[in-house]
Amino acid sequence: MSAKPDLKIVLCSPRGFCAGVVRAIDTVERALDKYGAPVYVRHEIVHNKYVVDGLKKKGAIFVEELAEIPENTSAPVVFSAHGVPKSVPADAQSRNLFSLDATCPLVTKVHREAAIHFKRGREIFLIGHSHHPEVVGTLGQLPVGAVTLIETAEDAKTITPKDPNNLAFVTQTTLSIDDTAEIVALLKERFPNINGPHKEDICYATTNRQLAVKKVAPVVDALIVVGAPNSSNSQRLREVAEREGCPIAVLAQRAADLDWKRFENITSLGITAGASAPEVIVEEIMDAFAERFTLHVETVSAAEENEFFPLPRQVRPEAAAE
């Protein structure tokens, strides 16, 4: 039997779950432990099929709208990490549903910024991708027409505000750092008095994962991003790898998704994972490569992460008895 070819694996660090995703998943699991099944979840709690399927097995029921939840249920209803329009908690309250808000605190920060700008009478631009649940949630914080979506640099070049001197912008938390910087630069050039966030809205996890890919992508033959097609931060990681010159950059949900012909002649492989992708799938993919190659693994780190977000009060562990 011929020896397996050598393959250098370069793991990007940080990768995988961020503090907001951990908080959202823990919220559902704690609700199941505390209140029992079912626990309803509006929208995928995070954009990852493996995670969602695992929670379904434990008794979570995923719905797209509250109308799908039976009347007079006492089961908890969890709002996903992406955030929801204001109409959703209002609807839950009108139906006497017991709701738990698992919105990432960094998304809530953007909601608050938008509300402050609105209160100050500013016209607001939201840099983001239409139809993404986070964007839908942010748009839904304010009256229709209060926020205008900017998706591309072209939008930034052509948008015509009512008052160029009374503007503000916020951004989706999971965008490409470079694309967003280009759009923000265009807006600031056109509207020098535009108000931006005190601290940028793109979250620490998105930024750190992209920085790690920027380090690894130029020095490997291929790079795999573990993540879902509907995960914005995972798609951005793949785009960053392509932009940095990596010849093969693919997004994969599981090892079974890989087209092995594309990896036949590589000698080095980068692996990262989007903020909603569990480490167990990174290990599954490495195991699949280990069947075909002799692996030599190293890690390249771009940042240390130690963020922690407390759970919603209703599902926090009870304080230890004194």
Q: For 281, how many CA atoms within 13 A lie in the half-sphere containing its CB?
A: 29
DSSP 8-state symbol, 94 = H
18 carries a ligand binding annotation: yes
Tokens of 283: 């290990």
158 carries a ligand binding annotation: no
233 carries a ligand binding annotation: yes
For residue 61, which of 76, 74, 48, 71 has the smallest C-alpha distance? 76
47 carries a ligand binding annotation: yes
Instruction: Spot the catalytic one: 44, 113, 123, 134.
Output: 134
82 carries a ligand binding annotation: yes
CB 36 within 8 A of CB 73: no
276 carries a ligand binding annotation: yes
Query: What residues pair up with 3 in beta bridges, in sequence order?
Result: none
Task: State the burial class of residue 271 (Cβ atoms within 10 Å of its Cβ: 0-12, 13-18, 19+).
Answer: buried
Coil, strand, or helix at residue 29? Answer: helix
- Alpha-carbon span 130 to 173, nearest angstrom: 13
CA 210 to chain centre: 12
- Alpha-carbon span 305 to 16, nearest angstrom: 11
Amino acid at site 187: L
Cβ-based neighbours of 318, under 8 Å, separated by 6 or more: none
Cβ-based neighbours of 309, under 8 Å, separated by 6 or more: 19, 20, 22, 23, 104, 105
Cβ-based neighbours of 307, under 8 Å, separated by 6 or more: 18, 19, 204, 205
Which secondary structure element, helix H or strand E, spans residue 272, and what is its range? Answer: strand 268-273
Q: Is 264 a catalytic residue?
A: no
Tokens of 321: 């008895």
231 carries a ligand binding annotation: yes
Tokens of 156: 């930034």
DSSP 8-state symbol, 10 = E
Binding residues for dimethylallyl diphosphate: 47, 82, 132, 231-233, 276
Residues with catalytic annotation? 134
Binding residues: 18, 47, 82, 104, 132, 173, 203, 231-233, 276
Binding residues for [4Fe-4S] cluster: 18, 104, 203
